[in-house]
Amino acid sequence: MTTTTKPLHWIKSSYSNNGGACVEWAPAYASTTGIIPVRDSKRPTGPSLMLSSTAFAGLVTLARSADL
């Protein structure tokens, strides 16, 4: 399990302004650790996923292929 002592700087998806269900991620943390934190932009105090770069790429591929 990965933990951090400093608050993460979250970046909202560019699609969040479209009123959809979107995500945020913490690129600075990802670039220093190789782990990509992801959370629901509508629940900023809720849980987050800590994904490997491979898992994150799979999540993006799945999201792009989904018929929303």
Question: Is 66:57 a contact under the CB 8 Å cutoff?
Answer: no
Residue 18 placed within a domain: yes
Residue 32 placed within a domain: yes
User: How confident is the model over 27-41, as pLDDT tens digits?
Assistant: 999 999 999 999 998
Residue 20 placed within a domain: yes
Residue 68 placed within a domain: no
Q: What is the DSSP string of 1-68?
A: ----SSPP--EE-GGGGGTS--EEE-HHHHHHHSEEEEEETT-TTS-EEEEEHHHHHHHHHHHHHS--
For the chain, give the mean pLDDT: 83
pTM, rounded to two decimals:
0.72
Residue type, 29: Y
CA 62 to the chain's CA centroid = 14
pLDDT in the model for residue 23: 84
How many structural domains comprise the chain?
A: 1
Overall average pLDDT of the 20-28 stretch: 84
Domain that holds residue 30: 8-43
